[in-house]
Chains A and B, each alone.
Chain A
Amino acid sequence: MDALLDFARGPLFRFSFAILVLGLLRILILDIWGIIEALRKTDDKKIPWKLVSIRTLEWFVPVRKVFSNRPIYSSLSILFHVGLLLVPIFLYAHISLWKGTVGFGWPALPKLWADILTLLAIGTALALFTGRIISKTSSFLSRKQDYLWPLILVIPFLTGFICANAGVSPVLYRICMLTHILSAEIIFVLIPFTKIAHCIIMPLSQLVATIAWKFPPETDEAVCTTLNKKGAPV
């Protein structure tokens, strides 16, 4: 068990983290490259930066958006994201591990807050899962990954919480810790290949949607040529 834990903490963690970082970097580079290419191709290179920035920020600080539409879902989603982002990054135990490996750390959340946010993430994830089943519109749209993600994400939070709080037997602790690490690693590997990739490219959404409407010139002739339609009537 200990050897397995060491393996999960060591090489497996490095591998999955590398997949996460490289995978997300690949997506980010592809996205930025796509934007640059699109701008190079079009003759209209003016971008309404103010509008794009406002509409991007509106989703990062969605104060106005929360209550305008599906308020319960939107509030749960925001609280879920708060827990999901803050706990893994600012947990004292995680920072200590980083400090041990890379030699530097950053301020940690007080334990009480970490616990509250962990429970918040678990609770809201389960609520979002339930909401997805109950909501007629969400369930109609949902794919397998849409149902699975909230459940998968609960696992490292739940096992982490047990390890940190419950006075469990050493065996159970190890099982929980192993599950905690392995589930997190599975999540790392899956992120770049699923909808969770939005964590890296979401800031570019409004820009992408704006530039996509800027078409390259002379596409009429180019498309006609490719489709053998040159000279064809309208």
Chain B
Amino acid sequence: MKTAQITPEERERAFASAKKPEVIDKQKLKVRYHVEDYNVADRPRQFLEAFSAILKHSNYRMALDHFIRMSAKCSRCATTCQVYQATGDPKDIPCFRSELLLSVYRRHFTLGGMLKGRLLGNGYLTDEKIEEMAESFWNCTACRRCTMECPSGIDHGLVTHLGRYILSELGIAPRALVVSTREQLEGATGNTSAIPVPALIDTLEFLEEDIKEELSVEVKFPMDVENAEYVFFPAVSDFLMEAETLMGIVAVFTVTGDSWTTGTGYFDGINYGLFYSDRMLERVVKKVDAETRRLKGKKILIGECGHASRSAKYYIPVYCGGDKALPVINIMEYTHRVWKEGRLKLDPNAIMEPVAYHDPCNIARQKWIIEKPRELLKAFCPNYVEMTPNRDQNVCCGGGGGTVSIDEVRAYRTGVGGKLKADQIRASGCKYLVAPCANCKKQLRELVEDQGIDVEVVGLHDLIYKAIIWDEKFKVSSSPAEEIPQKQEDK
């Protein structure tokens, strides 16, 4: 599936920048995303120092050495990249993007490159190249679909990831991500949405009341319960924006009766470090681990969020104990298991409208969770439809790699990054688009709005909430409608 190239007018709209010229001059950066002020003096030296330090303390050198020997410039990646398909700009070809950084590595960190550069007196890293990287690496949605099409096995996603990390050490990173991470790691609230604990508790109590009114079922979001089987970390923005997803999750736990808890010490699954800095990735992952251990929880349970799941699943073992690290599971795995065990009953005709499932890149690309949500959906959506391509070959929502949190690039995300996804959604004819990821949901909602598609974007548990068949034992004895007048009479 391919998308048509954007028209010059669409291009103008998508690439429009709201940045003031004086800011661009001061920061010496033409990028569309906002950046906090940083030291602009001698950026090439700063870049090379950061690159050198990162190489010293990482495993990137092995990959870069391999990639510079392998790169055959076949351009197969061009045809799968949804950004390149939309822009038609050869600078958006994944292999070209990777070459920006690989050429710096070759020139400054390999013997042959250094000798050649010295002899010919050229190739030294320039300010212009740094600006080109700052723009290019954040035009990418980090979906890693190109990697699947590279015969040489070059992981362009990894190169972009590293490029962003190096740039962030200079202070070149989207302000939206940096500010959120600062609040999460050093702020008073300790989470990216700056939700204070009392507000969190209020929100959850409100949701409990809501469910009681709606279903006459008493549910409870357990807080700070020690020795629970699962300690729950959703994308913290779910507490503000995805009430129905949380309602679905609490409903499932109410039915199964398994022990789970949310910790008031730390309750944010979001990890923007995965998008711009391994150092931040490590710090955030350690917070998740520390809170789970504080509560003596047995497993880390991540909510409906692709990057939160990937950063915990793959980096808890990396940063928090290897083989001895706490197990990490995603909420879809849990719900699928209890449904398979027969502990969760779903109404087979609960949702009659056409439903499609969107695979979040961070969950599906490595073939982690693919069939489980589909099996669940097919159990209560008789009109389930597939978007093509799908599963590990899925098309990104267009807001991947942290770009969805950068509001100033919305026109780019929905006009370029998500253009192919929009075509895919239209072709599927779905009414509900299920995206079990906070980032994908935000992006897809903006996408369908900007592209004029009549689809409702929901989480998996939003629909499960509607499909659960409640046993009578869960129903409260008197309905809330009867209770309220009673209370009034008492007064």
Knowing A141-B93, A195-B70, A208-B153, the reply to whether A135 touches B75 (Cβ < 8 A) is yes
Q: In whole Å, how far is B328's beta carbon from the nearest beta carbon of chain A? A: 12
**Stretch with Cβ within 8 A of B (4 or more), from A34-42, A99-107, A164-172:** A34-42
Docked-complex contact A226 and B53, CB < 8 angstroms: yes
Most buried by B among A59, A137, A197: A137
Docked-complex contact B63 and A212, CB < 8 angstroms: yes
Choose among A59, A143, A214 the residue that contacts B59 (Cβ–Cβ < 8 A): A214
Docked-complex contact B90 and A219, CB < 8 angstroms: no
Docked-complex contact A205 and B153, CB < 8 angstroms: yes
Docked-complex contact A59 and B153, CB < 8 angstroms: yes
Docked-complex contact B75 and A141, CB < 8 angstroms: yes
Docked-complex contact A234 and B319, CB < 8 angstroms: no
Docked-complex contact A216 and B57, CB < 8 angstroms: yes
Docked-complex contact B322 and A205, CB < 8 angstroms: no
A51 to B370, CA, bound (A): 14
Knowing A59-B153, A137-B93, A234-B182, the reply to whether A202 touches B322 (Cβ < 8 A) is no
Docked-complex contact A217 and B318, CB < 8 angstroms: yes
Docked-complex contact B73 and A227, CB < 8 angstroms: no
Docked-complex contact A234 and B90, CB < 8 angstroms: no
B67-80 CB contact bits vs A (8 Å, 1 = yes)?
00111111110111
Choose among A65, A212, A223 the residue that contacts B62 (Cβ–Cβ < 8 A): A212
Docked-complex contact B57 and A141, CB < 8 angstroms: no
A77 to B152, CA, bound (A): 13
Choose among A135, A195, A217, A227 the residue that contacts B53 (Cβ–Cβ < 8 A): A227
Say yes or no: is B282 at the interface (Cβ < 8 Å to chain A): yes
A34 to B181, CA, bound (A): 32
| Chain B residues closer than 8 Å to A212, beta-carbon distance | 59-60, 62-63, 155, 158
**Stretch with Cβ within 8 A of B (4 or more), from A5-13, A68-76, A112-120:** A68-76
A116 to B61, CA, bound (A): 43
Say yes or no: is A224 at the interface (Cβ < 8 Å to chain B): yes
Docked-complex contact B90 and A137, CB < 8 angstroms: yes
Docked-complex contact A141 and B158, CB < 8 angstroms: no
Knowing A70-B79, A140-B90, the reply to whether A219 touches B58 (Cβ < 8 A) is yes
Docked-complex contact B59 and A211, CB < 8 angstroms: yes
Choose among A30, A77, A209, A224 the residue that contacts B147 (Cβ–Cβ < 8 A): A209
Say yes or no: is A48 at the interface (Cβ < 8 Å to chain B): yes
Say yes or no: is A201 at the interface (Cβ < 8 Å to chain B): yes
Knowing A69-B80, A209-B153, the reply to whether A44 touches B317 (Cβ < 8 A) is yes
Docked-complex contact A41 and B186, CB < 8 angstroms: no
Q: In whole Å, how far is A132's beta carbon from the nearest beta carbon of chain B? A: 8
| Chain B residues closer than 8 Å to A214, beta-carbon distance | 59, 314, 318
Say yes or no: is A213 at the interface (Cβ < 8 Å to chain B): yes
A220 to B279, CA, bound (A): 4
Docked-complex contact B59 and A233, CB < 8 angstroms: no
Knowing A43-B322, A198-B70, A209-B147, the reply to whether A219 touches B278 (Cβ < 8 A) is yes
| Chain A residues closer than 8 Å to B218, beta-carbon distance | none
Say yes or no: is A96 at the interface (Cβ < 8 Å to chain B): no
A31 to B367, CA, bound (A): 26
Choose among B57, B62, B90, B282 the residue that contacts A226 (Cβ–Cβ < 8 A): B57
A73 to B393, CA, bound (A): 21
| Chain A residues closer than 8 Å to B321, beta-carbon distance | 43
Docked-complex contact B314 and A44, CB < 8 angstroms: yes
In the complex, which range does the number of interface residues on chain B fall in? 35 or more
Docked-complex contact B66 and A31, CB < 8 angstroms: yes
Q: In whole Å, how far is B27's beta carbon from the nearest beta carbon of chain A? A: 19
Within 8 A of A (CB), among B290-323: 314-315, 317-319, 321-323
A31 to B71, CA, bound (A): 15
Docked-complex contact B74 and A227, CB < 8 angstroms: no
Within 8 A of A (CB), among B223-282: 278-280, 282
Q: Which residue of A lies closest to B156 (CB)?
A: A209
| Chain B residues closer than 8 Å to A198, beta-carbon distance | 69-70, 72, 152
| Chain B residues closer than 8 Å to A190, beta-carbon distance | none
| Chain A residues closer than 8 Å to B158, beta-carbon distance | 209, 212-213
| Chain A residues closer than 8 Å to B72, beta-carbon distance | 146, 195, 198
Q: In whole Å, how far is B433's beta carbon from the nearest beta carbon of chain A? A: 25
Docked-complex contact B59 and A70, CB < 8 angstroms: no
Say yes or no: is A19 at the interface (Cβ < 8 Å to chain B): no
Docked-complex contact B96 and A220, CB < 8 angstroms: no
| Chain A residues closer than 8 Å to B59, beta-carbon distance | 37-38, 41-42, 211-212, 214-216
| Chain A residues closer than 8 Å to B76, beta-carbon distance | 69-70, 73-74
Within 8 A of A (CB), among B344-385: 366-367
A215 to B152, CA, bound (A): 22
* 9 more A-B residue pairs beyond the given contacts A73-B74, A146-B73, A223-B278, with a C-beta to C-beta distance below 8 A: A31-B66, A43-B321, A65-B149, A198-B152, A208-B63, A217-B319, A219-B282, A222-B57, A234-B280
Residues of A participating in the B interface, judged by any CB pair closer than 8 Å: 27, 30-31, 34-35, 37-38, 41-46, 48, 51, 55-56, 59, 62, 65, 68-70, 73-74, 77, 135-138, 140-143, 146, 193, 195, 197-198, 201-202, 204-206, 208-209, 211-220, 222-224, 226-227, 229, 233-234
25 of the cross-chain contacts (CB-CB < 8 Å) are A31-B62, A37-B59, A43-B317, A43-B318, A55-B148, A70-B79, A137-B90, A138-B75, A140-B75, A143-B73, A195-B69, A195-B71, A202-B152, A205-B152, A211-B62, A212-B62, A212-B155, A214-B318, A215-B318, A216-B58, A219-B58, A220-B278, A220-B279, A226-B53, A233-B182
Closest 9 CB pairs of A and B: A205-B153, A43-B322, A34-B62, A212-B63, A140-B90, A44-B317, A38-B59, A137-B75, A226-B53
